[in-house]
Structure formats: C-alpha cells, structure tokens
Amino acid sequence: MKCLELIVGILMIVILLSACNAVSSQSHVHEAMYNKAMNETPMKNKPNHHTEKGFQNDPFVETAAAKGPRFYLRRAWDSLFVPDVPDGHVLSEIESAQLLKNVAGERITWLGHASFLIRISGMNVLTDPFLTDYASPVPFAGPRRFVGDAIPINELPPIDVVIVSHNHYDHLDDKTVRSLPNKENINVFVPLGLKSFFTQRGYSKVTELDWGESKAIGKLKFTALSAVHDSARSVNDKDKTLWSSWAIEGQEKKVFFVGDSGYSDTIYKKIGEQFGSFDYAILPIGAYEPRELLWMSHVTPEEAVAIGLDVKAKALIASHWGTLSSLSDEPPFEPPIRFKASGIEGGFSENDIWVMKIGESRSISTSVKPTL
C-alpha cells in the first residue's frame, strides 16, 4: 500500500507541480510560437507588457527551453527527501521570539524562502506569504518545506501590509493567506490580476498595481516595478496575472524586494536611476540550475549581486533559498557561498552581505546588526 501511495504521489506531482517553475509547455516549438504570438499582440493604448492574453516581459524575453517530463520527474523524486541542514540554519521558536523582541525599531526578519517580515516606518510588512508545508496545488505533495517555521503564523506580530511579487505557489500560498488574522485591517498590494485571490479569502483592502504605479499607506510608499519572470497557478492561466518587484520607501530607509526574476541589463539599471539608491535589496539567490531551463526566470547568485549593484543597494539580503526541496538541481546550500563571494568581489563588505538564519531579525535602524 505504501509503495502504491508513493507511485500515485509521484504521478500527481509530475502532473500538478507548478511552484516557481510554473507549467511547462508541450514542446520548445510550442513555446516559441506562444511567445511570438504574445509579443505580436500588445493591447492598444496599453504598455508593452500588456497583451490580449495577459502579460509579457518588457523588454520581451524568449521563454527558456521547455522543461519536459524529466525535469518534473527529478523535482518529484527530490521532494521525497530532506537534505542535510547545517546547524544554526534555523533558529528555535524561543530564539526567534527573543530576537524579534530585542531588536527594537526598524528591522528585517527572514521567515524562510521569499517571506520576510519588515518593520519600517511603524508598520509590519509581510512579503510573498508562504509559511506552510507544500508549495503545490495539492496539500500533500510537491515542493515541500524541509525546515521548520521559526515563527509560526499565530506568533507573528500584527501584519499591516502584505505585498506579493507573483502568482506561484511558493510566493503566494493559499493556506498562509487564509490563516493570517485580522484580514480586515491588512492592506494588500498585488500585481495586476491578483486582487480576487485575496478578496475571495476575506480581505477587503486590496490594491492592484501596474508597473510604475504607487500607493502610500501611512508613512510608507509602495511602488510596483518590473521584473523578468512569468506567472501560473494551473495549466490554463499562464501569464494572466502580472509579476513585479517592489520598492518600499519609508521615512528613513528604502528597501527593494525581488521575489523572482531573471537578469536584465536594462530594467534594474533604470530602477537604480529612478530611485537613486536603496538601503537594502532583498534578492533571490536560489533555484537556478539547470541554466538552460531556468535562465529566464531565476538569477544565479552572481546575477543577484549584479541586480544589487544595478539598483545601487547599500546592502544585499539573500532570499529564495534554504527552505524548499526540489525546486531545482543545484546543491541546496551552494547559493549563499556563491552569493557572498560575488558580493565581496563586487565591492560589498561582509557586513553588507546578509545571509540570514530562518527566524533571525536584524536591525535596519542603526549600523549595529545583532547576531546570536
């Protein structure tokens, strides 16, 4: 019976798996035809990233080679195993709670993957809410969390704002969104097309933003900005919702948040020119191998550092690693090693390259960054 359940589970994963890697097409030819069609049908009187069927990258980017069944079989197989986790990678609930209490003023807390709790200008901002076990259409299979949640959902401080980068399971989790308390008081900012995801789950203060649009809440200003990615939650909604990076501007600090992106040698330089500089850039460093399949949607650690340089960030914060199994082929704890080395080579000091522990809080109010 257990063997049968395992086979059924693997088959379901192969069929339904669509976390950060979204949904593969039937063939590379089909992908090229689809991209060509999308690129040739922009909406009249709309920005270039709007199409009749949804959205596309601008400047336009050809989709990488089709992933195919072998890629998804590897993902399914890898999801059955838990990698060796280095000591100290995840703080205990007691340690996390103590740090959260002791780090006064403005701070950033890593909750795992692309979920951060940012305390800035008197508000608590939650990024890309994924705080449960599986990044999958089904609640028992697919990419799964292989580390504990150092701060459970019910132990989080009251959330004032939620921002979402895009509609993939590991960045927008149904169970997490349903579980957050005080939904009526949470302001939600999402890219175009994602408002209904939240309103259907009990949220009322939901704002959709296109690239370049901003909204202020209290002393904070949020601006949706471009990124190089895609979106999908099933086999029939590819790129029907927009994807974004975000500028979070407080009274004293500016934070740039990238949920997922391929590298662009144009858009991030333009963002840097527009905002002058950022105090912190939260950058994805994992899920980049094999490159021939993931170059379009996920940066390498070195490309993440390049984004930080392009947007003129003063400090870089590693995201999108060390939390979920089976998203890609690189060793799970390789990304921070390459990230640190590239950051130092790029001129950042070790103190300004943050590879945080899950559950760790660091101050952004002063130059002192508490460590355990």
The more confidently predicted of residues 148 and 160 is: 160
pLDDT digits 0-9 by tens, 67-81: 667 776 666 666 677
Alpha helix ranges (H) inside 24-117 = 28-40, 68-78, 93-102
What is the domain partition of the chain in residue ranges?
93-363
Q: Mean pLDDT, the chain, as a whole number?
A: 87
Place of tokens 């800035």: 120
* pLDDT score, position 77: 64
Q: Are 103 and 354 in contact (CB under 8 A)?
A: no
* pLDDT score, position 235: 84
pLDDT digits 0-9 by tens, 167-225: 999 999 999 999 999 999 999 999 999 999 999 999 999 999 999 999 999 999 999 99
* pLDDT score, position 21: 45
Burial class (CB in 10 A: 0-12, 13-18, 19+), 145: buried
For residues 227-245, give the mean pLDDT: 94
Residue in 96, 87, 85 with CA at minimum distance from that of residue 146? 85
* pLDDT score, position 143: 87
Whether residue 250 is predicted with pLDDT greater than 80 in this model: the reply is yes
Strands 353-354 and 205-209: unpaired
* pLDDT score, position 25: 35
Torsional class of 122: left (φ above 0), alpha (ψ -120 to 50), beta (otherwise) = left
Q: What is the pTM of this model?
A: 0.89
* pLDDT score, position 16: 44
Could you tell me what percent of the chain has a pLDDT over 70?
83
Helix (H, G, I), strand (E, B) or coil at 335: helix
Whether residue 360 is predicted with pLDDT greater than 50 in this model: the reply is yes
At residue 251 the predicted structure's pLDDT band, cuts being 50, 70 and 90, is very high
The more confidently predicted of residues 48 and 62 is: 48
Report angle CA 352, 261, 237 to the nearest 5 degrees: 150
Lowest mean pLDDT among 11-25, 92-106, 187-201: 11-25
Per-residue DSSP letters for 192-204? TT-HHHHHTTT--
Helix (H, G, I), strand (E, B) or coil at 177: helix
* pLDDT score, position 82: 76
Whether residue 368 is predicted with pLDDT greater than 70 in this model: the reply is no
The more confidently predicted of residues 328 and 340 is: 340
* pLDDT score, position 23: 38
At residue 42 the predicted structure's pLDDT band, cuts being 50, 70 and 90, is low
* pLDDT score, position 83: 85
Superfamily of domain covering 93-363: Ribonuclease Z/Hydroxyacylglutathione hydrolase-like (3.60.15.10)
* pLDDT score, position 338: 98
Tell me the Cα Rg of the chain.
19
Instruction: Tell me how far apart the 2 most distant CA atoms of the chain are, in Å.
Output: 60
Whether residue 365 is predicted with pLDDT greater than 80 in this model: the reply is yes
Residues forming a β-bridge with 353 = 316
